[in-house]
Amino acid sequence: MEQFLQAAIIGISLGAQYALLALGFTLIFGILGVVNFAHGGFYMLGGYVAYSCVAGLGLPYPVAVVVAVLATGALGWAFELFLLERLVDDHLATLMLTLGLYLVMSTGVLTVFGPLSMEFTFPVTGALRLGPIYVPRENLIVLAICLAMIGVLWLVLFRTDLGRGLRALADDRAVARAQGLSPRLLFPMAFAIATGLAGLTGALVTPILALSPSVGDPVLATSFLTVILGGLGSLEGAALAAFIVGIVEAFSSVYFGGSIGALVLFVLVLLLLVFRPTGLLGRTVRGA
């Protein structure tokens, strides 16, 4: 029973982390129609920015996390405005452009910091006893922050004029333009929100797991898998799928091992696509 509860808590924690990543990924796809292959790179960059602020500038870790969010969000905003915007309707070009950005970021980090993992640790350590189980305090803190940010994102998208404008562009870009909404203003903001979320996740999670130039690769794969499972363009589906992926990964890893866990996830996605090609809460993909 203790092992079961431990796996459940780990799964929920992983699900919250994956939800932040998947929501950013599907936000870009739903609004811009762009598959952002640089998403894992922004996660990696968030970790390295936070590390540089703590180790190089001596800033407190919470301040470093905020700087990482602002830096990755600003880079995403500039990238969309000055490079991606002019090619946003060319899906192959945007795919290659985002992949190229990821290669530039990973190569730059590799050149500056080297290939080895950084000694970057979470400032809070120890475990909290919850009945018969012990939960690392850092995991609970990350879980709380991730859930809070999911709530903030929901409020922004469904309770503000900015969110209504972004959802209008996602539903029907031509009608939204006719209503006076400017994609050139809102697209960079959507990209900045998504990349800021990826940077936040990287700044929170890499001190617990690992920080190296290659940490973005599995993040991109997991984000893509989660978004497909939830349904392309569906924010609710992405969040639901993220927690399913986190729980399945935790339980399969605890009871069967890590490699079997990855296999279970891929089989789950394949079976879903056979019986429901649009994903859990997806719908037929519109033309961007």
- The 10s digit of each residue's pLDDT in 118-146 is 989 999 888 887 777 788 889 899 999 99
Q: Cα(201)–Cα(199) distance, rounded to whole angstroms?
A: 5
As beta bridge partners, residue 127 has 136
Q: Which two tokens stand for residue 158?
A: 């469904």
Q: Is 180 left (phi over 0), alpha (psi -120 to 50) or beta?
A: left
pLDDT classification of 283: cutoffs 50, 70, 90: low
The 3 state secondary structure assigned to 236-280 is: HHHHHHHHHHHHHHHHHHHHHCHHHHHHHHHHHHHHHHHHCCCCC
- The 10s digit of each residue's pLDDT in 46-69 is 999 999 999 999 999 999 999 999
Q: Cα(171)–Cα(132) distance, rounded to whole angstroms?
A: 48
What value does the mean pLDDT of the chain take?
Answer: 89
- The 10s digit of each residue's pLDDT in 93-107 is 999 999 999 999 999
Q: 25 and 39 in contact (C-beta within 8 Å)? A: yes
